Amino acid sequence: MASIAVYPGSFDPVTYGHLDVMKRAVSIFGKVVVAVANNPNKKYLFTLEDRVVMLKEATKGMKGIVVEGFDGLIVDLARRKKAKVLVRGLRMTADFEYEFQMAETNRRLAADVETVFLMPSEGFSFLSSTLLKEVAKYGATLTPFVPVCVARKMKVLFKK
């Protein structure tokens, strides 16, 4: 019997690093709910709807992946989905402190939901959505880092 995991994030935009973590998670858990965050305190490049659409396109054909938007506490979504695991990606050691804080907070809120950290493949460990937004401003080719659907949308946004 496959278990269910939730992989939350802003995915603004989704990168090949995110997709790599999703593939790893689905191979372990069987089903992964990719939960696209809608935090009113955060400024996003793309709307929630755009991020969900891009993720659905980027994960088309990946069995076991379900994409949906959410707001509120991730542990509440995990419980609604009957998931016992939150998946978080760790790229570099710089991610660890923030992720550790979040995992401990979630553990206090929902002791029945564990956090599991997965590292992307070495070739994707340097990728960050923030960095890609920066290079997109200067017209760099993004297809080595993001799916074509994302590269197209970013090109339109940053057209000079």
Residue 2 in this model has a pLDDT that exceeds 80: no
- Per the annotation, the verdict on 42 as an active-site residue is yes
Please tell me the number of Cα atoms within 13 Å of 107 on its side-chain side. 9
- Per the annotation, the verdict on 18 as an active-site residue is yes
- The CA distance from 99 to 104, in Å, is 9
Given this model, what pLDDT does residue 40 score? 87
Given this model, what pLDDT does residue 160 score? 52
- The CA distance from 15 to 26, in Å, is 17
Which domains are assigned to the chain?
A: 3-157 (3.40.50.620)
Say which of 31, 91, 107, 133 is annotated catalytic: 91
* Coil vs helix vs strand at 8: strand
Mean pLDDT of 60-83: 96
Residue 1 in this model has a pLDDT that exceeds 60: no
pLDDT per residue as tens digits for the range 9-43: 999 999 999 999 999 999 999 999 999 999 888 89
- Per the annotation, the verdict on 43 as an active-site residue is no
pLDDT per residue as tens digits for the range 111-120: 999 999 999 8
Residue 8 in this model has a pLDDT that exceeds 60: yes
Global pTM?
Answer: 0.93
Say which of 51, 88, 129, 153 is annotated catalytic: 129
Mean pLDDT of 62-82: 96
